[in-house]
C-alpha cells in the first residue's frame, strides 16, 4: 500500500503598529529593489552573452 501524504497550511494574521507598518513597507521596498536589480543583471547577461549569473555561494543544480 502507498503512503498518503498530508499537506497542512497555517494562516497567521498580525496587526502591526504604525511604526512597524512603516518599517515593513521600507524593508519590503528594499528587498523588491534588490530582487529587481539582480533579475535585471541576470537578464542582461543572458541576452548579451548567453551567460548565467547565479547568487554567490549558492551552487547551481
Q: How much of the chain exceeds pLDDT 70, in percent? A: 89
On whether residue 37 sits in a domain, the answer given is yes
CA gap 39, 33 in Å, rounded = 10
On whether residue 42 sits in a domain, the answer given is yes
Strands (E), 1-61: none
pTM, two decimal places: 0.63
CA gap 31, 28 in Å, rounded = 5
On whether residue 46 sits in a domain, the answer given is yes
> Which residue range forms the structural domain that includes residue 41?
18-54
Grid cell listed for 11: 494562516
Looking at the structure of the chain, the number of domains it has is: 1
Tens digit of each residue's pLDDT (9 = 90 or more) over 11-37: 999 999 999 999 999 999 999 998 898
CB atoms within 10 A of CB 45: 13
CA 22 and chain centroid, separation: 20
On whether residue 44 sits in a domain, the answer given is yes
On whether residue 3 sits in a domain, the answer given is no
pLDDT at position 20 is 97
Amino acid at each position: 500500500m502507498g503512503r498518503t501524504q498530508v499537506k497542512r497550511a497555517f494562516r497567521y494574521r498580525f496587526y502591526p503598529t504604525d511604526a512597524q507598518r512603516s518599517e515593513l513597507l521600507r524593508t519590503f521596498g528594499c528587498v523588491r529593489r534588490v530582487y529587481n536589480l539582480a533579475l535585471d543583471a541576470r537578464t542582461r547577461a543572458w541576452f548579451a552573452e548567453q551567460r548565467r549569473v547565479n547568487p554567490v555561494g549558492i551552487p547551481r543544480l
